[in-house]
Amino acid sequence: MHIGIVCKVIDNFGDAGFSLRLAKALAERGHSVDLFHDDSATFRALYPTPDNGNLKLIDAIKTNIETEGLQKPDLILEPFGTSSEQTAYRFDLILKRQFPKTPWLLIDYLSSEKWIESFHLSNSIDPNTGHVTTFFYPGFTEQTGGLIHCDYPRHLAGKPLSTNKTCLRVFVFAYPNAPIRGLINTCNSLNSQGNEISIGLAGNSLTLEPDDCASAIPFVAQSEFDKLLAQYDMLFVRGEDSFVRAQLAGKPFIWQIYPTEDNAHFEKLACFFDLYANGLGADCKLALRNSWLAWNGVNTHGDFGMIWMALLPHLPELDVHAMKWQSRILNGKELVKEVLTWHGSQTLTLKEKPDL
Ligand code: TRH
């Protein structure tokens, strides 16, 4: 079928990252995909060498989609449903006017909060235009839309970690307000006591000192991202897509959630932590909770370095836990499949009641 994806890039790489991953997975399945977006630079960084003829990236700023004579899509997907406040050019409204009857799925932000289960696949009808938008909630339970994992390279899965614990390779992809310098200083002093901790710093402009154990790593194409994570023993990730890929990588991870003005992100962080940490021993769970909170700026126990050092003795337990969680996710609901199943049910409905 022919699918349209509407991606309005607010900031960072996540909106584009998720939309690209979704588009590529659908194109891999033989569907022709038009990915409408408003930020060619970000997509060039993520997808420098387009390698799938089924996938067309259309910069809605540079292309007048009003007159472009677009092929009528059978389905339109709108990740994150960004509103007018967040983006000036509402090309989503142009597509809604051009294709008012096309099934429209708004794929919301990932959450492990319980309430999403009761809103998953609920409809909202625009009172002015009668346009129907269905809300799709990605998530970690059977009552949600699941996660994208059909594209995870299976050969990377199930790989036990190196047991050599004096040598620790740490990947860091964080927002500028994370206590990265605190982490580096702690690793520098641990290395002066005979440890071999190395840090790969991604997408961050922190100034590094010559004797720091950290080095900046270049931005890789999204298709290389899973392989990059597989080279590390412990992962500091952020936002949404890298957060999910860290879980698929089966490695211990610390999540820096995307901060929201109303601090609602702390509820989301705590909700996911409780789900993820279930089954860990009390000491390990406490050390992990303190590290997650401190990495997200909730600092109740002194400097981040000390808090993180208290976590290191629990790495063997976290390794085993991360592998179990990886298999849970890989055997869990697959978002792309769920989207196609929903569309299948829509077409059935449309066939039965064409006037809908
Ligand atoms: O970049 P992010 O912080 O994106 C955020 C979040 O998505 C957040 O939910 C959203 O509200 C906000 O944007 C607007 O983090 P995220 O989600 O991990 O996306 C990063 C993407 O970049 C992911 O697809 C992986 C990709 N990536 C690469 O392809 N190569 C790289 O070298 C790196 C570091 C990242």
pLDDT digit string, tens, across residues 284-307: 999 999 999 999 998 656 789 999
Counting from 1 in the atom list of ligand 1, the atom nearest the Cα of 10 is: 14
Looking at residue 298, its pLDDT comes to: 87
Q: 114 C-alpha vs ligand 1 centroid, how far in Å?
A: 24
Q: pTM of the full predicted structure? A: 0.95
Mean pLDDT over 146-151 rounds to: 98
At 184, phi and psi to the nearest 5? -65, -45
Q: 101 C-alpha vs ligand 1 centroid, how far in Å?
A: 32
From the CB of 247, is ligand 1 less than 6 Å away? no
pLDDT digits (tens, 9 = 90+) for 308-355: 999 999 999 999 999 999 999 999 999 999 999 999 998 765 555 444
Mean pLDDT over 111-132 rounds to: 96
Mean pLDDT over 172-197 rounds to: 95
| Average pLDDT in the chain | 92
Mean pLDDT over 114-125 rounds to: 97
Angstrom CA distances, 292 to 165, 307, 341, stand at: 21, 10, 36
Counting from 1 in the atom list of ligand 1, the atom nearest the Cα of 219 is: 32
Mutate which of 205, 241, 269 to test ligand 1's pocket (most atoms within 8 Å of Cβ)? 241
From the CB of 14, is ligand 1 less than 6 Å away? yes
Q: 350 C-alpha vs ligand 1 centroid, how far in Å?
A: 36
Looking at residue 299, its pLDDT comes to: 66
Atom 32 of ligand 1, nearest CA residue: 219
- The count of residues in the chain is 356
Looking at residue 356, its pLDDT comes to: 42
Sheet arrangement for strand 234-238: 214-217, 196-202, 167-173, 234-238, 253-256
Looking at residue 350, its pLDDT comes to: 56
Q: 219 C-alpha vs ligand 1 centroid, how far in Å?
A: 11
Span of 18-32, 34-48, 140-154, 201-215 with lowest mean pLDDT: 201-215
Q: Which one has a higher pLDDT value, 164 or 44?
A: 44
Q: 255 C-alpha vs ligand 1 centroid, how far in Å?
A: 12
pLDDT digits (tens, 9 = 90+) for 9-56: 988 999 999 999 999 999 999 999 999 999 999 999 999 999 999 999
pLDDT reading at 160 higher than 80: no
Counting from 1 in the atom list of ligand 1, the atom nearest the Cα of 21 is: 24
Atom 4 of ligand 1, nearest CA residue: 14
